[in-house]
Each structure stands twice: as structure tokens, then as C-alpha cells.
Amino acid sequence: MAYARVLSRPRRVLVAVAAMMFLVVGTGTTAQAAPSISDIEGQINDNWNKLEPLVEQYNELHSQLQQNQTKSANLAKQIKPLQIQVDLTLTRVSALSAQLYEYGETSPLDALLTTGTPATMADQMSTLDAIAHRQSDSVKDAADLVAKYNAQKKPLDALIAAETVQDKQLSKEKTDIQNQMDSLQVLRRQAYGESGKSGGTYEPVACPAELTTGPGAIAAKTACAQIGKPYVWATAGPSTFDCSGLALYAWKAAGVTLGHFTGWQWDDTKPVTRSQLQPGDLVFYFSDHHHMSVYVGDGWVVHAPTTGDVVRMTQLSNPYLPIAGYRRPGA
């Protein structure tokens, strides 16, 4: 039985970057100017670009774990009828064994050979052979079923054991990432106040900016409908999103399934050029593709930018988002 993406790639350990979020501020008796919003914004962008790849790696690992759990459940369903067969067969064998123990091995022979006439002796011997043969077949059938059951159960046990290790690892990684998120939010509050949001108009132009038809148009319209909803890492709607979760959610509405990981979304889509961009196409940023957005036409995209912010529109030519490529799902 094939197991797609089951432990198929080395487990990446998400290392906490403990000093990443530290903001150097003036202390002591020496008066120093408070950092400007642009200075803090620069630190936020630098720190976020170190943290977001960890978020996407978590998304990959968590998605693999969910896939493995689904495979485990499906295999368990396949094994259940086989286990029932094993139990029934072993019950019958146990009953035969108990009968032989109670009456003795010669009792069936005596019963056959001391009743009837010599004329039926051959039939009686044939019946005795058939009983012995059926008992032997029952034992063999039970042994074969147990072997078949164990052959299917062994990879399931290995899968569950690996998932247990992954689950413990994910718990630690999630804590590390959240601690860094909290530190980053401190910086955002210094720049933007208690809300931590960078302000501005979430929808500066009509969204979608171009009206088209087809699956891409549905994805673009769905992405636009999420504007203003909070960024929450490792989520894919309907109330909160991270960047790949937004793309997954938008294209799901168009009937296209994407994985919750920027790397999978890059691999599972078709490349297009900038001149070929249509609403719904995906735009990837940075050389490792750790951030992405949904193109909505006329040089605008919708994305879930960073912790403490919300889903919003930005221009395709955003200086903070170096473009790595354009992709089209479902092509």
C-alpha cells in the first residue's frame, strides 16, 4: 500500500531565534531619541522575513501530520473487517479445540466406528478425514488472516509512532513560534499603538480590480471578501488567515485544492509571466517563496501580511516584497 508524503522528507527542526525580536532601546541615564516608526517598521520587516519561513515550515509539517492521520484512519477502516474475520475464525478453532479436549481425540473415531454397519465403514472413514481436514483448514485460515492483518498493521503502527513524535515536536515548535510572534507584536505596538496594526486603507481600490470569469475570478473575489480579517499563523479561514492559508481558502471556493504550504502551492501550480497575470493567480515573494498573495487585477494583490495585521490589498510593485514568480492553480 502506498503512502503519499508519509515521512517522505527529512523532518526539519524549527529553531527558535531567541534574539531575533530584541529591540535595542535607550536605557540608563543617557537620553536617546525614540526609534522612529520607519525604523521600527524596518525591524518588523527584517524580523518577520526570518520568522515567516518557520511558519510555512510548520504549515508543511502540520499538513503532513494531518495527511498521515487521515491515512491511519482509512487503514484502520480497511483492517476492521479483517479483524472481525480473524476473531470469528479463532473462535471456531477454539471451539473445536475445546471439544477435542473435553471428549478426547478418540471419541469422534469411536462414535463413528462403533455405530452403523460394515457397509458404511468407508463413508465413516471419509467423514472422519473431512472433519480433520476442516479443522486443519480452519487453523490455517486463521493463521493466514492473522499474518495478513499484521502485515497491514505494521506500517500503521509505524505511522502512528512517527506521528506521536511529530506531535510532540509540533507542540514545541508552536510554542517557539508563538513566543517570537509575541515579541514581534511588542515592536508593532511601539510603532502603531495597542492595535498593532499598521493602519491605512485595507481596500484602497475596488476589489477585484478587474472583473473576469472562471475559477480565477472566483478565487480573486473570495480573497477580496476576506479583507480586514486578522492574520493568525497556521490558519486557513474562515475567520483568520496566514498567507498560504488565504490562497488555499480562495482557490477552494473555486473548486481547486491547494496544500497549506507555500512550497506545495508553488510546486502544484503552473508558471505564468507577469504579462499573463489574471485575477486569482498567485504571486510568490523572496527566493524561498515564504510569502505569497492572490492577484486581483490592475496591479493589485490581496495578502495576509504579518502577525498583528489583517488581510489587505497592496500593490504588486511593493518594495518590501521582492517577487520570485507567478503561478496559476488548476491549469
Given 62, 224, 243, 289, which residue is catalytic?
243
User: By three-state DSSP, how is residue 279 classified?
Assistant: coil
Length of the chain equals 331
- In the residue annotation, 290 being an active-site residue is answered as no
User: By three-state DSSP, how is residue 177 classified?
Assistant: helix
Write out the three cell numbers for 195.
492595535
* Dist CA 269 CA 282 (whole Å): 9
- In the residue annotation, 62 being an active-site residue is answered as no
Rounded (10°) angle between helices 215-225 and 243-252: 130
Q: Do the bridges between strand 300-303 and strand 291-297 make them parallel or antiparallel, or are there none, so unpaired?
A: antiparallel
Phi, psi values for residue 20, rounded to 5°: -65, -35
Q: Decide if 162 contacts 7 (C-beta within 8 A).
A: yes
Write out the three cell numbers for 73.
484512519
Q: Decide if 197 contacts 308 (C-beta within 8 A).
A: yes
Q: Decide if 44 contacts 196 (C-beta within 8 A).
A: no
Residue spans of beta strands (DSSP E) within 62-109: none
User: By three-state DSSP, how is residue 330 classified?
Assistant: coil
- In the residue annotation, 303 being an active-site residue is answered as yes
Which residues does the annotation mark as catalytic?
243, 291, 303
